[in-house]
Homo-oligomer: A and B are copies of this chain.
Amino acid sequence: MVAVAGGRKKISESTIRRLSLYYRVLSVLEKENYQTVSSRELAKREKLTPAQVRKDLSFFGSFGTRGLGYPVSELKKQIGEILGLNRVWNVALIGVGNIGSALVGYKEFLRQGFRIKVIFDNDQRKIGSNHKGIKVSDIQNLEQDLRENNIEIVVIAVPATVAQYIVDDVVKAGIKAILNFAPLNLKVPPDVFLRNENMSMELEYLSFALKNLQDGKGTIK
């Protein structure tokens, strides 16, 4: 797999997102016992154009066979490797409120190789308690515990008011990848990858659509 390390320096956010989508569709196709899949079928399932699919996949070194398409399992494996899903990642979760508790029980994470190894909270009633087999640690020991557990990705599920302080400590501990559920824009140094998961933004998209785009008043590109 040459992929990105092979010289190409820029990859767009939307390409990475499409790779995740291909990975999902290929997983479904694999379960449905498909051996091969055409760029047309992949495109249809993702609402993309076949040309876009072929371009994406050739960019990553995968070429379908005319008339046969792409081998499902092999392509899934390849894309999984590109996405870093062929290994287990050590994840820490900070905050076990509503969202945090749900994430601990979210089986999809582990299925993709994201293993929540440590959980932190600052609530004395929660510290020491057990969530799906993981003991809740005191956030006071954050830096040390992140290092000792070789944590690579941190998930932030704390109230917005304290999120920036906590992220500053996470960055100090050398973490380079953060998934943030707190509804605010966190500041991190340029060498730290930060993704925001904002569930009400998707609802806003829907309210926007309901308000503005029904009855032929407009469309979303």
Contact = CB atoms under 8 A, between A and B. Distances in A.
Contacts of A162: none
A156 to B, nearest CB: 12
Nearest to A209: B193
The complex is assembled from copies of this chain, and their number is 2
Contacts of A9: 218-219
B5 A218 contact: yes
Q: Which of A3, A179, A200 has the most CB of B within 10 A?
A: A200
B84 A211 contact: yes
Contacts of A25: 185
A129 interface: no
Interface string A1-30: 001110011111100110111011100100
A96 B106 CA distance: 13
20 contacts: A3-B212, A4-B212, A5-B212, A5-B218, A11-B218, A19-B204, A24-B184, A45-B185, A84-B211, A84-B212, A89-B207, A98-B102, A98-B106, A99-B102, A101-B102, A108-B183, A114-B200, A177-B207, A177-B210, A178-B206
